[in-house]
Structure 1
Amino acid sequence: MNSNHQPATFPAEVDELLTAVARDGFTLRYCNGPHQPTLIVGTYDWGPFVDLVVLRGLDDVISARVPTADITDIFMPEVIVWLYASDARRALQALLDLPHPDHPQAPTKPAPAPPALHVPAARECPVTVRPPSALAARARRVRLGAALLADTTEVPSEIG
């Protein structure tokens, strides 16, 4: 176990991406505790949406954006508007690159959540919750909000 509370079995690149997700303001839930987690569930609440990642292993990671109106249990979402399932490196990077929910290219079309996104009740207990610091809690909103502004701001044309 390293100082970032990530499983020691992950390669450095994946550990760095998990750290980036935590620094981006995600709340991390370690199923079976932080020392020997059976899986890690990360969430970032936008209000109308929750960005979600379920990390079962190095080659079994699923990232999603879920409408909050449809969430009754974060471990069993029923509807998604975006999903990316792959290895840890790709799925975590896709989650970090997902645009702000207000961005014109942000996904909005609802679809049924796949069963792979569900966390069986047996793997939920005990769960250690690690919320982000107050500064980190705003990081994703600020970072993606700045990108949203940069993408939507009109650039004046040059007069020649």
Structure 2
Amino acid sequence: MDSRDVDEELALLVSRKWTLYYFGGREQPRAIGAVYQYPCSECADVVLIRGEWLTIAFRTPTDEHTDVFRPEQVVWWYGSATLWALRAVFQLAPPGDLRAPHLPMPAPGCCRLAPELTKPLVVRPPRFSGRLC
């Protein structure tokens, strides 16, 4: 795996307006989270990067009480090397599409970030332009 490929996929997160979370600080994070909350939808795509070879991607139902880094349910999840997990989440059909995963299941433990990994936290929100819905 070429790290340039991973860098290109990570750049797509930013260009597609994902919010980035650096757990443990931005300089040497213990984990990186990325979240795309679909506008006008009650679900989010989430990526948890714990190393180049350990990344979990999932889609979770959301409401005002959901902690996307400790979901109770997911409708899809995938664990692999960072490159493949990012490519997998980018291939998901958007919510509402007939091809989109939609049946909830209990979230596996790998989709939950341990509380001790979450402090300190640096958040990099996306820049929005135009309408949300």
Partner of 2:85: 91
Partner of residue 27 from structure 1, selected from 16, 19, 25: 19
Larger Rg: 1
Structure number with the higher helix fraction is 1
SS of 2:28's equivalent in the other structure is: coil
Counterpart among 17, 24, 27 of residue 9 in structure 2: 17
In the superposition, the TM-score normalised over structure 1's length comes to 0.75
CA contact (8 A) 1:26 1:137 kept: no
- Counterpart contact for 2:21–2:32, Cα < 8 Å: yes
Paired residue secondary structure (1:133): coil
Identical pairs, percent: 35
TM-score normalised by structure 2 residue count: 0.90
Are 1:41 and 2:29 an aligned pair?
A: no
Counterparts in 2 of 1:85 and 1:108: CA distance versus 1, 3 Å:
same
Runs of 4+ in 1 over 4 A off after TM superposition: none
The aligned counterpart of 1:150 is: none
Unaligned runs of 5+ in 1: 1-9, 142-160
Query: Higher relative contact order at CA 8 Å, sep ≥6: structure 1 or structure 2?
Result: 2
Q: Provide the alpha-carbon RMSD of the alignment.
A: 2.1
Any conservation in 2 of the 1:17–1:89 contact (CA below 8 Å)?
Answer: yes
Alignment match, 2:107: 113
Q: CA deviation at 1:133?
A: 1.0
Q: After superposition, what is the alpha-carbon deviation per residue over 1:37-62, rounded to whole angstroms, capped at 9, x for unaligned? A: 11101111113101100000111101
Does the aligned pair in 1 maintain the 2:75–2:102 contact within 8 Å? yes
Q: How many residues align?
A: 130
CA positional deviation for 1:29 = 0.2
Shift of 1:137: 9.6
Shift of the 56–137 alpha-carbon distance from structure 1 to 2, 3 Å rule, reads farther
1:62 and 2:56 aligned: yes
Judging by fraction of residues, say which structure has more strand. Answer: 2
Three-state SS of the structure 2 residue aligned to 1:75 is coil
